[in-house]
Amino acid sequence: MSAQNLLVRSARRVSRRAIPCTNQTRGVASRQTRYQLNTGDTIPAIGFGTFQDPNAQEDAVSRALRAGLRLIDTARVYDVEKQVGKGLKASGIPRGDIFLGTKLWCNNYHPDDVEEALDNSLEDLGTPYVDLLLMHYPCTFARGDERFPRDHDGKMILGKTTFVDTWKAMEELLTTGKVKAIGVSNFSKGETQTLIENTSTASLDRTPLLQIPAVHQMEVHPYLQQRDFNEWLRSQGIHVIQFSPLGNMNDFYRSTGWSKQVSHMMRVIDQPLLKQLGKKYGKSAVQIALAWGVNHGRSVIPKSTIDWQIKENVEADFEMDLEDIEAIKTLDIKARFNDPSLDYQWRLYSDLEGIEGAVQGRTH
Ligand SMILES: NC(=O)c1ccc[n+]([C@@H]2O[C@H](COP(=O)([O-])OP(=O)(O)OC[C@H]3O[C@@H](n4cnc5c(N)ncnc54)[C@H](OP(=O)(O)O)[C@@H]3O)[C@@H](O)[C@H]2O)c1
């Protein structure tokens, strides 16, 4: 039985053509799925993350685009926007064909700082606009140049701005043409609800600009499926981009203290079930993990600097049978790897799954 009709309801799927990629090496044919956002624009299902490896990012972004990826995810705090911008140009792919997203960092959340912060990102990225601007976390750090402002004891100094005020400043950006869509990342359900209740459309004295966030970028993979939250976001018309779609594949989670108790467990991609399913489709366990997200109507943004991995990820957009998607439910052990709550002095994900593993870990 096909999963297509049952599982894809959040962002409307607008193109689900089975287009065999020219670099197809094995297995079922890859598609080039795009979803429609609540802004009317479309976003690709498979994208490319740029966190870490700054020296490799220019080349990696260029290669990823040439390999067929059209969604690039970056952030001010990754310190790679210049490299990403150069990679975009080096690829030769027209800017209009690329969906580019970046994120505002927590020390720039004061409403008077938001546009300038975006301008700095645009300058480094070498582009007049981004397709998506996300608020990276709901917590605000003290205003100023210091990205991680700390007191004498090393404790993070929080700012006074609320994420609602920051959001309103982001909404204003939609009128400038510098941003096509806005969204959030790492928000709890309650924080997302607060935002929805306070958006422009919720206040009668303002011109409606956007109904609600277009996107929530959050940690989702077979070990942290967040089924209820994903369902709720879908019901609100908020498209989900899965970060760390391969789970604890990123060494960062093993080397930092954020999730020590869970990050050392068997890697998601070593799970026998994913390998077994891979055999059925002629795909790898990595591709099954990514396709699982795509078959739920979400975008995935694996990061890689290695050519064969990038190509493998490009070919992870294929239809899976519902019974196989159902089987992957058994891997949902609610293991969250990205949880800087203690360092950021803010209980993140407070009403979501997988927050027990958080431990103190200073990472910046
Ligand atoms: N919003 C947020 O707060 C937030 C948080 C975390 C991440 N993100 C975004 O999400 C992106 C991805 O997250 P992530 O880097 O944490 O996790 P990930 O993409 O799930 O894992 C990255 C790791 O997987 C490896 N890998 C990628 N493709 C592979 C393949 N086909 N086969 C084998 N290994 C493969 C990479 O290796 P190599 O690098 O050696 O190639 C890298 O070590 C980030 O780059 C960033 O853009 C956002």
Q: Write the CA distances from 343 to 110, 153, 166, 257, integer angstroms.
A: 21, 12, 21, 10
Q: Is the pLDDT of residue 112 over 90?
A: yes
The ligand 1 atom at the shortest distance from the C-alpha of residue 217 is 1
The verdict on whether residue 364 carries a ligand-binding annotation is no
Q: What was the pLDDT predicted at 12?
A: 44
Read off the pLDDT of residues 49-61 as tens digits, 9 standing for 90 and up.
999 999 999 999 9
Q: Is the pLDDT of residue 93 over 50?
A: yes
Confidence of residue 258 (pLDDT cuts 50, 70, 90): low
Q: Is the pLDDT of residue 171 over 80?
A: yes
- If you take atom 15 of ligand 1, which residue's CA is the nearest one? 303
In the 8-state DSSP scheme, what is residue 107?
G
Read off the pLDDT of residues 275-304 as tens digits, 9 standing for 90 and up.
999 999 999 999 999 999 999 999 999 999
Give dist(CA 86, CA 124) in Å, integer: 9
Strands of 34-36's sheet in order across: 12-15, 34-36, 42-44
Q: Is the pLDDT of residue 359 over 70?
A: no
Q: Stretch 61-83: mean pLDDT, rounded?
A: 98
List, in sequence order, every residue forming a beta bridge with 43; answer none if it has no partner. Answer: 35
Q: What was the pLDDT predicted at 105?
A: 98
* pTM exceeding 0.95: no
- If you take atom 14 of ligand 1, which residue's CA is the nearest one? 244
Q: What was the pLDDT predicted at 203?
A: 47
The answer to whether 78 is a known catalytic residue is: yes
Q: Stretch 161-170: mean pLDDT, rounded?
A: 95
The ligand 1 atom at the shortest distance from the C-alpha of residue 73 is 47
Q: Stretch 59-84: mean pLDDT, rounded?
A: 98
Q: Stretch 29-36: mean pLDDT, rounded?
A: 93
Q: Does residue 304 have its Cβ closer than 6 Å to ligand 1?
A: yes
Read off the pLDDT of residues 14-27 as tens digits, 9 standing for 90 and up.
443 333 333 344 58
Q: Is the pLDDT of residue 207 over 60?
A: no
**CA 304 centroid distance within chain:** 15
Q: What was the pLDDT predicted at 29?
A: 86
Q: Is the pLDDT of residue 186 over 60?
A: yes
